[in-house]
Amino acid sequence: MARADFSNSTDGFPLVEEGVQNTTIEKCYENKSKGGNNQVVFELRTSSGGRLWHYCVNEPDKNCWMFRKTIHAITGQKPEKGPFSFEPDDYVGESLKVEVFHDEFNGRISAKVKDVILSGDEGVPGSDKLSEENDLPF
């Protein structure tokens, strides 16, 4: 009879710690969400070897503020409002600082991206909310 001990086994990659994490973009691509919306997916790797997926809505009639903020965090330049063209592969290998939280679903804990951190906002999660609010049309 064969035996195994799964006491120290993990389900894949290590759980990324909550808080601000430095990551590298391993993949970037467009696809459809479960709800059928266009989205851009950033597959991220932390310096400790953990993995995260960052999903950004990319629909012209929806608020794409997180996608716009993500591009700003990657490139250091805030994209102008209006149409924007990009090549997803151009972002592979770039750095992205993110704020991570833990979420529990069906008894399983996973790490998720809560926010991206703009340059100059390191260690101050959500510090750019005021500037994002100033972009609202009302």
- Would you state the pLDDT for residue 120? 64
- Would you state the pLDDT for residue 11? 61
Which amino acid belongs to residue 68?
A: R
Q: What is the pLDDT of residues 14-38, one digit of tens each?
A: 899 999 999 999 999 999 999 999 9
- pLDDT > 60? residue 43: yes
- CATH classification (class only), 19-130: mainly beta
Are 3 and 52 in contact, with CB atoms under 8 Å apart? no
Termini Cα distance of the chain:
70
Going by C-alpha positions, the residue among 124, 125, 130 that lies closest to residue 115 is: 125
Q: Name the pTM for this structure.
A: 0.78
- pLDDT > 50? residue 126: no
- pLDDT > 60? residue 111: yes
- pLDDT > 70? residue 57: yes
- pLDDT > 90? residue 82: no
Domain ranges of the chain: 19-130
